[in-house]
Structure 1
Amino acid sequence: MMAMEFVSTVRATRSGLVDVLADVEGMTRWGREHAAELGIDPGFSATEDLRHEVVELRQAVRSLFARAVAPGPASSADAHRLPDFAASLDLVNAAARAVPLAPRLEWPAEGAPTARNLPAREADESSRIRAALASAAIALLAGPEREQLRACPAPRCVLYFVKEHARQEWCSVGCGNRARAARHYRQHKAR
C-alpha cells in the first residue's frame, strides 16, 4: 500500500527516529524504489525543493492518519508536531488535484489488457509525485481500510499499520515481542 509505505518513511530504530526522507540522497533512493507507483523515471533524482514538498505532504498525511486512529493515540514519532488537521486536509486535496489522472488502456499483442492511470496533462515531477502520494492516502482514508488503521502501541515504535485480523495489536511480530517483554519487565519490577 503506497500510503503506508509513504508514512512509514519515519520509523524508529534502537538508536532513535530515522527519517528516510531526511536528505536529498534518501529522497532519491526512496523515489527510485517506488518509481513505478509514483509514475516517475527509475533514474529519478530528487532536489531539495522536491524533498521539502514531499516531507511537508508526508506530515500532512500523518496528521490525517492521527485523526483516523482517534480516539486511540497517534504515532509517537510526531504527534506533538503535526500540522493542523484542516490545513493538512487542504494540502492533501490540493496535491491530489494538481495532476488529474485519466485511465489508459494498454493491450499488448500477447496478453490481457490492463488499465493504468496516467496524468491527463503535462505536470512537473514534484506535482506528479505528490499527486500520486496524496491520491494513495485519499484512497486509503476514504476506503474500508481506514477503520482498521492503527498506530502501533509497542515501545519506541512510531509506525501506523492496517489491522489484518481481529487479534492483531502491533505492526509486526517484533513489536509484539518488545511489548510483551516490556510488560513482563514492568510486572516483575513492581514486585
Structure 2
Amino acid sequence: MVVSDVEGSAPVIGERLSLDLMNTSYSTRGKPAEGLGSPEQATSWVQRIAGRLADAGATSASEARFGEAGLDDLLALRTAMRSLADAVVSGGTPGAHDVERINRAAALTPRWSSMAWNGDARPAMTKQSAGAPADQVLSTLAGDAVDLFTGADAARLRMCERPGCDLFFLKDHPRREWCTPACGARVRAARSYQKRVQRARSASAIGASQPSPTTPERRRR
C-alpha cells in the first residue's frame, strides 16, 4: 500500500482505477476510515493516480481540482461502485439506481481513441477525452467500473478476508485471499498466536488433571 502525504488519505493497491476509488472507504485497526474526507484529500488522491487516469483517457487529470460539489459527486460514484461490488461478491442483486449513477458519470465527457503512426514504427493508440478536468476524472473512473463489472475481471472480484478489512481486490492466484501481502501477514500472525495460546492452554489443562506427587511419610523411630 502507498501512504499519501495528506493525513487520512486512503491506501492505493494499484489494480484498477475503479477499485482504487472503492478502496478510499477502508478500515484501520477495525474502525471505518475515510480517504476522501475533504476536497483537499480528494484532489490529492486524484493527483496520486493522475498518470494512470491520463493513460485511461482523462488527459487533464493532473489539472483536476475538487470542491465540495465535486467531492459529493465522487463519493456518490464510490457508493454506487461499492454497492455493485458487494452484489457481485455476495451473489446479490445490484440496485438499478447504482447502475444508473455509474452510467451517468461515464457519460459526463466524450471519450475516444486516437492512433499515432510515425514512419516504420508500430502504430500506437491513445485514449482521450474532453471537458472539465474533474469531469474527465469522474467519467474515466465510471468507465473503468463499467469495464470491470461487464468484463472478465468481475469473476475475480473479491473482498479481503482479513477480519476488519473491507478492501476489494482482483484474485490473481488461486490461494490469494487478501488485498495485500500486509493483510496476509497479519492473518498468519494472528493464526500463529492463536495456535500458541491453544497449545499453552492444552498443556496447562493436562498438567492440572494429573495428580500431584505425594511425599512419603517418615517412619516413626
1:142-181 matches, within 5 Å, as: 142-181=150-189
1:156-186 Cα shifts (integer Å, max 9, x gaps)? 2110010011111111222122223334555
1:95-141 Cα shifts (integer Å, max 9, x gaps)? 1123232211234679543212222xx53333322110000111111
Q: Distance in 2 between matches of 1:184 and 1:71?
A: 32
Give the gaps of 5 or more residues in structure 2: 1-15, 203-221
Partner residue in 1 for 2:96:
86
Q: Residues 152 and 171 of structure 1 are in contact (CA less than 8 Å); yes or no, is this contact kept in structure 2? A: yes
Q: Distance in 2 between matches of 1:107 and 1:64?
A: 39
Give the gaps of 5 or more residues in structure 1: 73-83
Greater RCO (CA < 8 Å, at least 6 residues apart):
1
Q: 1:21 and 1:108, CA in 2 relative to 1: closer, same or farther beyond 3 A?
A: farther
TM-score (norm. length: structure 2): 0.70
Partner residue in 1 for 2:105:
95
Partner residue in 1 for 2:66:
46
Please, which of 11, 20, 30 is the counterpart of residue 45 of structure 2? 30
Aligned residue pairs: how many? 178
Superposition RMSD on alpha carbons, in Å?
Answer: 2.5
Q: 1:125 and 1:179, CA in 2 relative to 1: closer, same or farther beyond 3 A?
A: same
Q: Rg: which structure is higher?
A: 2
Secondary structure, counterpart of 1:42 in structure 2: helix
Please, which of 117, 122, 130 is the counterpart of residue 127 of structure 2? 117
Q: Residues 152 and 158 of structure 1 are in contact (CA less than 8 Å); yes or no, is this contact kept in structure 2? A: yes
1:130-149 matches, within 5 Å, as: 130-149=138-157
Matching of residue 10 in structure 1 with residue 20 in structure 2: no
Q: Distance in 1 between matches of 2:111 and 2:17?
A: 17
Identical-residue share of aligned pairs (%): 28
Secondary structure, counterpart of 1:90 in structure 2: helix
Q: 1:107 and 1:167, CA in 2 relative to 1: closer, same or farther beyond 3 A?
A: same
Q: Distance in 2 between matches of 1:108 and 1:34?
A: 29
1:68-116 Cα shifts (integer Å, max 9, x gaps)? 11149xxxxxxxxxxx722111100111123232211234679543212
Letter in 1 for 2:180: S
Structure 1 ranges of 4+ moved more than 6 A: none
